[in-house]
Amino acid sequence: MFVAFALLIGTSACKDLLEQKPPSDGQNVLPDNAIETAEDLQEVLTSSYDVLANTYNGGGQNLVTLMSDQLVRPFNQQDYTSVWLRNTSIFNGTVSDVFENYYIAALRANTVIENVDDVTGLSENARTRIIAEARFIRALIHFDVARGWARAFDYTADNSHPGVAIRTGTAIENSPRASVADVYGQILSDINFAKSNLPNVNDIYATRWAAIALEAEVRFQRHEYQEAYDLANELITEGPFMLDTEINKYQHPQAGPEAIFYIFSVVRPDGTNVDNRNGVFRGNYFNNGNPTLRITEELFNLMRQFGPDGTTPRGNLVDSLDLDGNISLITNMFNAESFNIPLFTYTQMLLIRAESGAELNTALTQSIEDINAIRERAYGSNIGNLDGSASAEDIIEAARLERRLEFPFNGQRFYDIVRIGSQGEDIEVRDAPWDCPGALLQFPSTEQTDLFPLNPQGGCN
């Protein structure tokens, strides 16, 4: 139990506690004894954010981006290659590590929830805020695990198809694959609590605005466009955020004006230690002469449209690289040495509002204005703007394209593909159906039980 708890709370947030040796009398230190004060509880909660930072440093985003049509076959990275081939197996260590990190974050969040009533010196407001943060984290990780390892919402009429394990406690035990309906039910329950109990301002941690943004994404993924529109509109019209003048969201040493929820990657809250959390993004995309992840010609051309030789703010985010006579196409988005990782931004909310409005065939003028604001920043002029008489279909097409180009490497393209496909539209990915057998990540072998069947294998060709 001492070892399990040591692994639970981690090294970065609870260093002093971990350096204590077990008592010489052989008695173990259990959570009931180790989490006694408000400070202890806050350290465990902070350690859950710590795992999020080590998962959303590019690790989780790269996997789902590889299953879309944004990248060519990876260079010299076999685990990534199997993901790109849509043929991941139980032996893919990179996929397993990301999967396990998601649930470690949930385990720590659940530890906070289970111990909150036993600590001393905790006000009622602090208690509620801590639980709300933990439930926000739990909702976020279940959402992204469901999006990567299970079929989309509405894949079946009643969403009874297999989802992922729901982890709302700290017991280390085998769990069944809950239905997608039940998984999303738990996600929304956690979001509703977080939305009702998080403050509007909470330093670098989850806020009410972050919970609203997460619910907007969930509702959008579920094709619930009225709810998605209303949530995005609330955040846009009432929140303290605004459109950034800079198009590259991966260059800020501090949270930019669009930041609704970011992984803080530069300076710790005390302002002293550099703490970069961007290594998997930068390590695989950075132009060091031979980057592992390189973009498709289609994406390159889309990014460089509407400008002389592609020299627009958006076009400057991609480049060509001559490797011994072989031309590779790359991105410059992750060239900064230190940057934060955006998970929810003002631009995302604008695009949710724009497409949702068009899906509902209402507020089309507002949808056009949202898309044009993004395009004018991207191209430095109104050359790519939608006409004021654009139809709902034109707006939907434009919003989907902008989401692909504004967030090319955070998994947005993959999530849109499965959302569009599960909505009944005909869509293919690299010449294969959107729901081919390999268009899911594979679970680690440790998950497999009679109650937890693994995903099908066999690729998509």
Q: Which residues contact 393 (CB under 8 A, 6 or more apart)?
A: 358
pLDDT of residue 288: 74
Alpha-carbon gap, residue 133 to 130, rounded angstroms: 5
Secondary structure class of 286 (helix, strand, coil): coil
For residue range 226-260, what is the model confidence (pLDDT) as tens digits? Answer: 999 999 999 999 999 999 999 999 987 777 899 99
Of 228, 174, 169, give the one whose Cα is nearest residue 419.
228
Secondary structure of residue 342 in the 3-state scheme: strand
Instruction: Provide the token pair at 147.
Output: 């999006």
Per-residue pLDDT at 407: 96
Q: How far is CA 29 from CA 22, 26, 33, in A?
A: 7, 10, 6
Longest dimension (CA), the chain: 79
* Domain 199-424 in the same topology as domain 1-20+27-181+426-461: yes
CATH of domain 1-20+27-181+426-461: 1.25.40.390
Q: Residue 387 and residue 245: Cα distance in Å, rounded?
A: 23
pLDDT of residue 220: 98
**Contact call for residues 404 and 425 (beta carbons, < 8 A):** no
Token code pair at residue 52: 């999020």
**pTM of this prediction?**
0.91
What's the rounded Cα separation, in Å, for the pair 379 and 385? 10
The pLDDT value recorded for residue 24 is: 43
What confidence score (pLDDT) does residue 252 get? Answer: 75
Element (H, E) at 211: helix 208-221
The tokens 């009622």 sit on which residue? 124
Tokens for 48?
């859950």
The DSSP-derived string for 358-390 is: HHHT--HHHHHHHHHHHHHHHHSSSTTPPPTT-
Q: What is the pLDDT of residue 14?
A: 38
Q: What is the pLDDT of residue 32?
A: 56
Q: Give residue for tokens 């076959």.
A: 73
H or E segment to which residue 266 belongs:
none
Q: What is the mean pLDDT of each run of 10 residues along the chain (461 residues)?
A: 40 37 42 77 94 95 97 94 94 95 96 93 93 98 98 97 96 91 98 98 96 98 98 98 93 83 70 71 86 96 88 94 86 89 96 98 97 96 95 98 97 97 95 93 91 87 73
Residue 441 is given by DSSP the state: P
Q: How far apart are CA 160 and CA 153, in angstroms?
A: 10
Block residue for tokens 């031309």? 327
d(CA 99, CA 79): 14
DSSP state of 419: H
All structural domains of the chain with their residue ranges: 1-20+27-181+426-461, 199-424
CATH number at 199-424? 1.25.40.390
Q: How many helices (H) and strands (E) does the chain have?
A: 17, 6
The whole-number pLDDT of residue 172 equals 83
Q: What is the pLDDT of residues 256-295, one digit of tens each?
A: 899 999 988 755 555 544 677 888 999 999 877 789 999 9
User: What DSSP letter does each residue of 69-128 carry, written as one string?
Assistant: TSB-SPSS-HHHHHHHTT---TT-HHHHHHHHHHHHHHHHHHHHHHHGGG-BS--HHHHH
Task: Copy the structure tokens of residue 204.
Answer: 């670098």
**Mapped to the 3 state alphabet, what secondary structure does 99-114 carry?**
HHHHHHHHHHHHHHHH
CA distance 358 to 325: 46
**Torsion angle (degrees, nearest 10) of CA 352, 358, 364, 368:** 50
Q: Which residues contact 165 (CB under 8 A, 6 or more apart)?
A: 103, 175, 176, 177, 178, 447, 452
> What is the distance between the alpha carbons of residues 53 and 203, in angstroms, rounded to a whole number?
16
Report the C-alpha gap between 404 and 386 in whole angstroms: 17
